[in-house]
């Protein structure tokens, strides 16, 4: 039989898993079994898993491999090599040295951002565009959440802000927020984390970072998302503020230094750069 005819017979023998619309971004195939219970995967005589051209349904070459990105309990994705264009979930895990496969939960991250669970004996067609990112969890319990309306899974009760950033693919000028229905969405600070252990699935969204206004007190940098603060609000941000001291705004250019009263509002958005304050004993100023 000609190789092309064998290839066609092979394609006809496979039944692709279509599933609901959200599962169609990645082709997962159920393994077929022969009379003896062994997995049957007929291959053409000239079959070699390698150099797949997405515009051509035929593999070419003899030495190339399929590269995937695999992370374990994190978003630290590492490049792994698989020499099969349609591997099983256990082969994906094995490529990362994760054994036995039954000890891990494996998910494919679709181009849409959805998480798709992949069982050890489920086939994944790596020739599909965007079918190369996977994340595995070694924990017994998994936590589910929503990120920009897409379901995600995590293996711990707290998910780092960094992981949410990576999974959402946002840029540096965007931030992650915990969505609070009927209230104010909570900013997840950089380097922080969000709790997933509460009742129900948490929902996260991304948006542009709020503008921050920088000022200095005694040479220490402070940030505020408010354009103006009162003298009392500024003092409240300084640890162990001495009540016997005045808050003094340093003058810019020819402007003199001056004391800021507790109820005086100071505009922090000025062209000449951050406002600078200092604490001065009351008896020593003026």
DSSP string, 9-30: HHHHH--EE--SGGGTTS-EEP
Percent of the chain scoring above 90 in pLDDT: 67
| Separation of alpha carbons 232 and 97, rounded Å | 58
pLDDT at 8: 44
Least confident of 24-33, 45-54, 60-69, 274-283: 45-54
Asked if residue 22 has pLDDT above 80, the reply is no
Nearest to 83 by CA among 98, 95, 65, 70: 65
Residue 266 pLDDT level (bands cut at 50, 70, 90) = very high
Answer yes or no: are the C-beta atoms of 210 and 226 closer than 8 Å.
no
Residue range 74-103, pLDDT digits in tens? 999 999 999 999 999 999 999 999 999 999
Residue range 184-199, pLDDT digits in tens? 999 999 999 999 998 8
Name 248's Cβ contacts closer than 8 Å, sequence gap at least 6. Answer: 257, 258, 259, 260, 277, 278, 279, 280, 285
Q: What is the pLDDT of the chain when averaged over all its residues? A: 82
Name 180's Cβ contacts closer than 8 Å, sequence gap at least 6. Answer: 186
pLDDT at 37: 41
Dihedral (Cα; 249, 251, 257, 258), 10-degree rounding: -50
Asked if residue 29 has pLDDT above 60, the reply is no
Q: Where are the alpha helices (DSSP H) in the chain?
A: 3-13, 89-95, 161-168, 231-237
Residue range 123-147, pLDDT digits in tens? 999 987 766 999 999 998 999 999 9
Q: Tell me if residue 186 falls in helix, strand or coil.
A: strand
Percent of the chain scoring above 70 in pLDDT: 76
What's the predicted TM-score (pTM) here? 0.62
| Separation of alpha carbons 53 and 25, rounded Å | 18
């Amino acid at each position: 039989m000609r190789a092309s005819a064998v290839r066609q017979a092979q394609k006809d023998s496979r039944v692709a898993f279509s599933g609901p619309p959200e599962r169609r971004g990645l082709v997962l195939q159920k393994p077929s079994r022969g009379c003896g219970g062994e997995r049957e995967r007929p291959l053409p005589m000239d079959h070699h898993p390698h150099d797949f051209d997405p515009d051509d349904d035929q593999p070419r070459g003899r030495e190339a491999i399929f590269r995937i990105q695999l992370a374990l309990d994190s978003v630290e994705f590492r490049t792994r090599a698989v020499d099969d264009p349609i591997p099983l979930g256990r082969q994906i895990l094995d490529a990362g040295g994760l054994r036995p496969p039954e000890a891990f939960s494996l998910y494919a991250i679709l181009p849409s951002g959805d998480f798709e669970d992949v069982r050890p004996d489920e086939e994944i067609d790596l020739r599909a565009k965007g079918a190369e990112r996977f994340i595995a969890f070694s924990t017994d319990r998994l936590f589910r959440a929503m990120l920009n309306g897409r379901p995600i899974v995590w293996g711990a009760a707290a998910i780092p802000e960094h992981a949410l950033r990576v999974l959402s693919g946002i840029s540096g000028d965007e931030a992650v927020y915990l969505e609070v229905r009927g209230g104010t969405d909570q900013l997840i600070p950089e380097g922080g984390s969000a709790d997933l252990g509460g009742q129900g699935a948490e929902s996260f969204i991304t948006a542009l970072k709020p503008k921050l206004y920088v000022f200095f007190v005694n040479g220490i940098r402070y940030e505020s998302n408010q354009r103006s603060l009162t003298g009392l609000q500024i003092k409240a941000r300084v640890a162990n503020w001495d009540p016997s001291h005045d808050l003094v705004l340093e003058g810019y250019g020819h402007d003199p230094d001056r004391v800021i009263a507790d109820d005086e509002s100071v505009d922090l958005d000025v062209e000449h750069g951050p406002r600078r304050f200092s604490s001065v004993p009351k008896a020593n100023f003026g």
